[in-house]
Structure 1
Amino acid sequence: MAPPTHFTLNTGAKIPAVGLGTWQSKPGEVQQAVAFALKDGYRHIDAALVYGNEAEVGQGIKDSGVPREEIFLTSKVWNSHQPNVKEGLQKSLDALGVDYLDLYLVHWPVRLVPNETGELFPLNPDGTRAVDRSWDQSETWRQMEEIYKSGKVKAIGVSNWSIPYLEELRKTWTIVPAVNQVELHPYLPQHELREYCEKLGILLQAYSPLGSTGAPIMTDPDIQKIADKNGVSAATILISYHVNKGVVVLPKSVIEKRISSNKDVISLSKEDLDVLDQLAASGKAKRLNTPLWGFDLGFADWYGPVKSR
C-alpha cells in the first residue's frame, strides 16, 4: 500500500503529508526555493514570522504561478506577540502577501517581553531572555480561537508544546489544536507525546526530520542499512518514517535537487519502523533544538526530561 499523500485535520481540512520547511533558509535563497518547490509539485509551505523571511516566501509563492487556494500555508505567532495575536497575524499576512492562512500556530508556550534590547529576542540586564513567567497561555489560545472564528486562519494549533502544557491548556480550550509541530526524528521519537496527541485528535508535524547541520542522523549506520535495503537515500527513509506513522513532515532545503527528492515517500515495513522507533532507546537519544528560555518546557520521553538551558 502506498503511503498517504495527505492527512485530515480535526477541522476536516486536508493537509499535504510533506511540506517545505523554511526555517534557517537564508535571505536570497528562500524565494527561489519556494517557487521551485511549488512548481515541482509541493503544495504545503511552512513559514513563521520569526524566521525573518516571510516576504521572500510570499514572493516565491507569487513567482511559482500556483494559485493561492491550491497551497496549504502555515505561519506562527511569535512569543513577543502573544498579548496581541491579531497584530502578529497581520504582520505575517502582510509579509506573505496573502489574506488568510491555512494554519496558524503558537510558536512556543513562552511569552517574551519586548524592551530596548529587541522586539523578537529581548534580554534581561543579566543577559537571559526577557521571559514573562506569569503569562497565562490560555489567554494566547483565547485569542487564537478568536482569529479562527474570524476566518483569517482556517485552522489553529501549537508548536513545541509538551504534554504538561497541553494538559493545562486543555482546561480552558473550546477549540482543540489541530496540530502540534515539534522536533521529531528517530533520535527524538517522542512516543508518549505522539500517543497523547493522537488520542485528542491533534496531528503531529515533524520539524528537523533530517536532524540539522552536523547532526549524526543522516550517517547513522542503522538508518543507512534500512536505506540500502530499500534502495533509497537515508533522507528518504527519515522523511518516509514520519508519513508512515501518520505524521506530517517538513524537510527544509534550498537546493533544488534535494527539494525534489525530499517529496519522495516510500512504504516502510513494520520491521524497519520498529528499528527506527527504538534507536533513541539504544543510547542515541538527542534533542537538537534547545532554545535558551531558561526553564523546563516539560518535554520528556522514555529517557527523561530535556531542559531548555
Structure 2
Amino acid sequence: MQPIISVSNLSKTYASGFSALKNINLDISRGEIFALLGPNGAGKTTLISIICGIVNPTEGTVLADGHDIVRDYRDARSRIGLVPQELTTDAFETVWATVSFSRGLFGKPANPAHIEKILKDLSLWEKKDSKIMTLSGGMKRRVMIAKALSHEPQILFLDEPTAGVDVELRRDMWEVVRSLRETGVTIILTTHYIEEAEQMADRVGVISHGEIILIEDKAELMHKLGRKQLTLQLQQRLEQVPAELSSHGLELSDDGNELVYTYDTQGERTGITALLKDLNDAGIRFKDLQTKQSSLEEIFVNLVSERR
C-alpha cells in the first residue's frame, strides 16, 4: 500500500547557516499512529511544519496522500489537520463558531452534522456556545483538535498534544486519538511524554540533531533494544556473589538480600535456565523473584545519548 506520507531526502538550512534537518527519509503508513520522539531542538517541529506547508524545505520532496506539498499544495494541505503546540484560538469566539470557521477556510461547505459529531466525540458539545476564553486549558486543546478535524483530513498532526494537561485528561485524550485512528485517520504525534508514545504508537521514529536515527515498530524496538532484569529475593543473606556464579554477571544488592541478573530481551532463556541450575548447585535458595523490562523512555535516552 502506498504510504500516506512520503518524505524523501528532505533538508532544511536557514539563512544563518543552521541546518535544522539533514536528509530525512520517512514513510508513514495509512491508518497508523506514528510517534516522533526527540529532545528539544532536534527538528521535530521543523519537520512537521514543512509537511504542513508552513515552512519551505531547502531540498527534498514530501507527498501527502500522493500530492506534492509544494507543486500541489492546496490538495496536499486539504488532507492535513494540524494541532500546534501553542493554544492559538480567538478568545472571544464560541466553540461552534471557531470550529465552523476553520472548516470554511478550506473551502468546505457548511456541515453542521459533521461539526456536531466532532464536538460530541471530543466531549465539547455542552460547551459549543461557550467563548474560548472561558474554557480550561484542557478544553482549549480539545478545541484545537476539533478545528484541525473540521475539514475532514486524512492526516492529523499532533505537536505535543497533551502539554500542560493533567494526567486524567491526558488519558482521556489518548482515548480520543485511538478512536480517531479507528475512523481511518493517520496520526503523527510528537511528544515529550514517552509514556504517551508507549501507550499509543504503532511505530516510533527518533530524531536527533536534525537526523532520523531510528524508525521501528514499537514492540520490535522494545524487543530489540530493551533489557530485562530478573531480581531474586534470597532466603539467606550473601556477603558476595559466589565465584561459581561469576560468569552470569550477577549484581548483589547492598543489603545482600537480592541478586540481580540483567539480560537483553532477544532471548536469554538458556541463560536463565543455566543461572537457576547454577544457583541450585551452589545451594542458594530464593523465596521470590520478579522481572522488569526497559521502558521506551530508557531506550530513547540511551539512543539519544549515544549520538551526542
TM class by shorter chain equals 0.3 to 0.5
Structure with the greater alpha carbon radius of gyration: 2
Give the structure-1-normalised TM-score: 0.34
Give the structure-2-normalised TM-score: 0.34
